[in-house]
Amino acid sequence: MFSNISTRLTTTLKSLIPLHNHNQIPQFSHSLLIPTNLHPPPLRSHPLNMSSQSSPLPPPDSSTPIKTVKVEIKGRVQGVFYRDWTVQNATELGLKGWVRNRRDGSVEALFSGSVDKVGEMQERCRRGPPSAVVTGVNVSPCEEDPEPGFQRRPTV
**How do 133-141 and 96-101 pair as beta strands?**
unpaired
N-term to C-term CA, the chain: 71
Of residues 101, 103, 127, 153, which has the active-site annotation?
Answer: 101
Q: What angle do the packed helices 82-92 and 115-127 form, to 10 degrees?
A: 150
Does 83 qualify as catalytic in the annotation?
yes
Does 21 qualify as catalytic in the annotation?
no
Separation between Cα atoms, residue 23 and residue 39, nearest integer Å:
13
Of residues 37, 44, 49, 83, which has the active-site annotation?
Answer: 83
Task: List residues with catalytic annotation.
Answer: 83, 101
